């Protein structure tokens, strides 16, 4: 339901025309906000009881309900000063309510006693105050002033709450780590459900301005409700992102309390940061009111959607997900059953529309699905002209006349992409080569040498790589500012890579800053083998920063079982050359277990003009946390 002026007017008219209708809605009953046995299960007593040295306004449920945090978010010490994430003044009843939970509690308690409309504005707060002060005479909402709230409760009666995770998209700066929002439905899954998502209020056309504001808190985020089928269509058809739906294991009383709090949040906003106070942060903060002490303290460093997903799973538990597979994924799946030349020929015929009925009938099942999916993608494309989209739509309708039974993507294949099963974003480890022992660390997030469960093969998104020699003499050996690569093989996408890495000249001939920006093509020869070639400009040695560089590489996954453990053997290779000035070749193989750690070996060869070549064989151990 979208709350606008028109809907509010219609709601008011309905109450005038049907005065007896809302008498049946439980929100108006005298016991609607009273403490009941159901209420006792909502606020768990062992976590809710106030400690002898704890003030009422420092109760974790009250702090969570008004989104208060300790002034230092890295500390949970209750002696710290407080600040609320909410920026909208009307969310508070006192002028300094954003910074003063005590004054705000007293003002809310006074209003709950004297104002009959208090429960219409803040139903979740009233429910909590009744539990904090069971002997206080608090006002109950009046029917005449709570029409909209009654409609809200009626619309979501016996609702199911689910997490929705659209997969990551490296081609969109704000979605490189994925997205996370909530879905409210009468069933565990429904296209007619409502999504509750926090999005940045961004209307900038400049990418630079968009990134700057998103990283510095220049935007605000607000919970908004939309029908689920609207974002679902955009993600699957236009953006090519898989959508994972995880029902949350919640009691009906918890869902009801969350919905009442969402009612309080519908017109308020808070600062939005792409890396920290983002979609995942806001979802967790809305759910924190159900069990505030079980969630990890909020921090201002980074909140990744996949990590938010795991944190919610650890607190409440998530059901087996429902997966909506994107057009890109299905196109890629059928493409792997055909030769590259045949795929290109079919793509050309799709773009020209040169299909007769006889041509369509002569296609194999894989070819028919591949071509029809390409047409479906063109039909929904926002980059094509209206005429081309209409042509694709008409041809797609002809394909459906000669329909074939769909061969679904195996569950095992999709399970391997489950973001809930992905490895942790931080990494550290050790490597040993000859007489040298090195320590490695990485702040974020994933590379092709990491366990690939939960990720598309060929995705690199690394920030803050650092290596240091431990023995024989401690010294910084490498620092990677960033490395982003999109090597996932799709027929209609370009492979690309951006890298900036500093390496010590003491340990290797290719010392100093090494940069690369390039593009090319990535190809999948079957469901396991992937190769790529990239050409671009960069710096490999002390020569020009715009030296032409060629990179070729590949990776291959061979999963196998060893006793009761599931392991994955993953060989990798890459070679780079910058004319006659520098060459670098690396080959490695990693055995990975349960996304917790990897062990492997690497062989490295580096050679630069007027420098002694480096040949190194090392053993590595990597831990994810």
pLDDT over 60 at 36, yes or no: no
User: Which has the higher per-residue pLDDT, 12 or 574?
Assistant: 574
Q: Round the average pLDDT of the chain to a whole number and report it.
A: 82
Instruction: Residue 338: name the closest of 555, 531, 525 by CA.
Output: 525
Q: Which residues pair with 601 in a beta bridge?
A: 589, 619
Secondary structure tally for the chain: helices H, strands E? 19, 22
| C-alpha to C-alpha distance for 608 and 546, rounded to whole angstroms | 16
Q: Is the pLDDT at 18 greater than 50, yes or no?
A: no
Residue 37 has pLDDT above 50, yes or no: no
| Rounded mean pLDDT, 356-374 | 92
Q: Which of 303, 255, 300 is nearest to 281 (CA)?
A: 303
- Please, which pLDDT band fits residue 32 given cuts at 50, 70 and 90? very low
The pLDDT of residue 458: 84
Element (H, E) at 7: helix 5-17
pLDDT grade, residue 566 (50/70/90)? low
Report the pLDDT value the prediction gives residue 46, as an integer from 0 to 100. 44
**pLDDT exceeds cutoff 90 at 394:** yes
Checking if the pLDDT of 202 tops 70, the result is no
Give the C-alpha separation, 534 to 551, whole Å: 5
CA nearest 298: which of 72, 65, 86?
72
Per-residue pLDDT, averaged over 208-219, amounts to 70
What's the pLDDT at 534?
Answer: 96
Q: How does residue 350 score in pLDDT terms, banded at 50, 70 and 90?
A: very high
Q: What is the pLDDT of residues 327-336, one digit of tens each?
A: 988 988 888 7
What's the pLDDT at 141? 73
Instruction: Over range 253-269, report the average pLDDT.
Output: 91
pLDDT digits (tens, 9 = 90+) for 80-123: 588 999 999 999 999 999 999 999 999 999 999 988 889 999 99
* Residue 535 or residue 508, greater confidence: 535
Rounded to 5°, angle at Cα 450 from 447 and 456? 65
**Which tens digits make up the pLDDT trace of 72-81?**
654 444 555 8
pLDDT of residue 187: 72
Task: Find, among 196, 184, 224, 31, the residue nearest to 119 by Cα.
Answer: 31
Over residues 464-478, the pLDDT tens digits come to: 999 999 999 999 999
Q: What percent of the chain has pLDDT over 70?
A: 83
- The pLDDT value recorded for residue 288 is 94
Specify the long-range contacts of residues 346-354, CB closer than 8 Å, at least 24 apart. 346/370, 346/371, 346/374, 347/374, 347/491, 347/492, 350/374, 350/375, 350/378, 350/392, 350/395, 351/378, 353/391, 353/392, 353/395
Binned at pLDDT 50, 70 and 90, residue 290 comes out as: very high
Q: What is the pLDDT of residue 297?
A: 67
Give the model's confidence band at 558: pLDDT under 50 very low, under 70 low, under 90 confident, else very high: low
Question: How much is the pLDDT for 137?
Answer: 83
pLDDT tens profile 146-189: 888 888 878 887 889 999 999 988 777 667 888 999 999 887 67
pLDDT band at 139 (very low <50, low <70, confident <90, very high): confident
pLDDT greater than 60 at residue 27: no
What pLDDT is stored for residue 559 in this prediction?
Answer: 60
pLDDT, residue 298, reads: 60
Q: What percent of the chain has pLDDT over 90?
A: 43
Mean pLDDT, range 386-405, rounded to an integer: 91
DSSP 133-171: -TTS------GGG-HHHHHHHHHTTT-EEEEEEEPP-TT
Task: Determine the pLDDT at residue 562.
Answer: 47
Q: How far apart are CA 570 and CA 559, in angstroms?
A: 8
Which residues, 6+ apart, have CB-to-CB distance to 401 below 8 Å?
none
- Judged against a pLDDT cut of 90, whether residue 70 lies above it is answered with no
39 pLDDT more than 60: no
**Cβ(179)–Cβ(165) below 8 Å:** yes
Using pLDDT thresholds of 50, 70 and 90, give the confidence band for residue 326: very high
The per-residue pLDDT for 195 is: 87
Q: What is the DSSP string of 33-79?
A: TS--HHHHHHS-HHHHSPPTT--GGG-HHHHHHTTEEESSTT---TT
Looking at the predicted structure, is the pLDDT value of residue 286 above 90?
Answer: yes
- Asked if the model's pLDDT at residue 463 lies above 50, the reply is yes
- Considering only residues 171 and 2, tell me which one the structure prediction assigns the higher pLDDT: 171
* Mean pLDDT value across residues 320-326: 93
Give the per-residue pLDDT at 75: 47
Q: Which residue has the higher pLDDT, 18 or 438?
A: 438
Among all chains, which residue has been given the structure tokens 């007293």?
Answer: 106
């Amino acid at each position: 339901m979208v709350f606008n002026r028109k809907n509010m007017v219609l709601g008011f008219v309905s109450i005038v025309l049907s005065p007896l209708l809302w008498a049946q809605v439980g929100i108006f009953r005298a016991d609607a906000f009273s403490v009941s046995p159901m209420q006792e299960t909502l606020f768990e007593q062992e976590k809710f009881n106030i400690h002898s040295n704890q003030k009422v306004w420092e109760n974790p449920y009250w702090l969570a309900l008004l989104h208060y945090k300790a002034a230092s978010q890295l500390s949970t010490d209750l002696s710290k000063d407080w600040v609320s994430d909410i920026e909208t003044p009307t969310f508070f009843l006192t002028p300094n309510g954003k910074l003063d939970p005590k004054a705000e509690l007293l003002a809310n308690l006074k209003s709950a006693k004297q104002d009959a409309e208090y429960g219409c504005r803040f139903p979740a707060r009233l429910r909590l105050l009744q539990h904090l002060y069971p002997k206080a005479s608090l006002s109950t909402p009046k029917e005449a002033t709570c029409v909209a709230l009654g409609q809200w409760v009626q619309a979501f009666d016996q609702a199911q709450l689910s997490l929705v995770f659209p997969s990551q998209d490296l081609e969109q700066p704000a979605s490189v780590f994925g997205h996370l929002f909530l879905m409210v439905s009468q069933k565990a899954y429904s296209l007619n459900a409502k999504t509750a998502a926090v999005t940045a209020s961004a209307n900038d056309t400049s990418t630079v301005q968009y990134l700057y504001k998103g990283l510095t808190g220049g935007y605000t985020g607000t919970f908004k409700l939309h029908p689920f089928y609207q974002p679902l269509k955009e993600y699957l058809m236009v953006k090519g992102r898989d959508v994972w739906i995880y029902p949350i294991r919640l009691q009906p009383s918890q869902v009801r309390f969350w919905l009442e709090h969402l009612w309080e949040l519908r017109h308020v906003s808070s600062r939005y940061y792409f890396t920290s106070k983002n979609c995942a942060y806001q979802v967790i903060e809305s759910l924190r009111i159900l069990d505030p002490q079980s969630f990890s303290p909020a921090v201002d460093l980074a909140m990744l959607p996949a990590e938010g997903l795991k944190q919610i799973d650890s607190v409440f538990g998530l059901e087996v997900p429902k997966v909506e597979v994107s057009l890109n994924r299905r196109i890629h799946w059928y493409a792997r059953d055909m030769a590259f030349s045949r795929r290109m020929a079919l793509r050309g015929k799709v773009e020209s529309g040169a299909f007769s009925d006889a041509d369509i009938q002569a296609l194999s099942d894989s070819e028919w699905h591949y071509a029809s999916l390409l047409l479906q993608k063109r039909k929904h494309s926002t980059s094509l002209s209206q005429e081309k989209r209409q042509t694709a739509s008409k041809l797609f309708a002809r394909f459906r006349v000669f329909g074939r039974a769909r061969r679904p993507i195996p569950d095992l294949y999709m399970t391997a992409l489950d973001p809930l099963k992905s490895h942790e974003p931080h990494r550290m480890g050790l490597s040993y080569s000859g007489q040298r022992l090195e320590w490695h660390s990485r702040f974020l997030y994933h590379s092709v040498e990491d366990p690939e469960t939960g990720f598309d093969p060929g995705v690199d998104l690394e920030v803050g790589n650092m290596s240091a020699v431990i023995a024989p003499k401690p010294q910084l050996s490498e620092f990677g500012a960033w490395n982003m690569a999109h090597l996932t093989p799709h027929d209609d996408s370009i492979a690309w890579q951006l890298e900036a890495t500093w390496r010590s000249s003491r340990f290797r001939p290719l010392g100093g800053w090494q940069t690369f920006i390039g593009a090319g093509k990535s190809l999948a020869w079957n469901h396991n083998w992937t190769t790529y070639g990239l050409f671009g400009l960069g710096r490999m040695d002390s020569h020009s920063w715009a030296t032409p560089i060629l990179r070729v590489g590949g990776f291959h996954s061979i999963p196998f079982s060893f006793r009761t453990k599931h392991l994955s053997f993953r060989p990798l290779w890459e070679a780079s050359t910058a004319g006659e000035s520098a060459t670098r070749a690396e080959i490695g193989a990693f055995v990975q277990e349960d996304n917790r750690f990897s062990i492997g070996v690497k062989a490295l060869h580096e050679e630069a003009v007027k420098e002694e070549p480096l040949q190194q064989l090392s053993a590595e151990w990597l831990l994810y946390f």
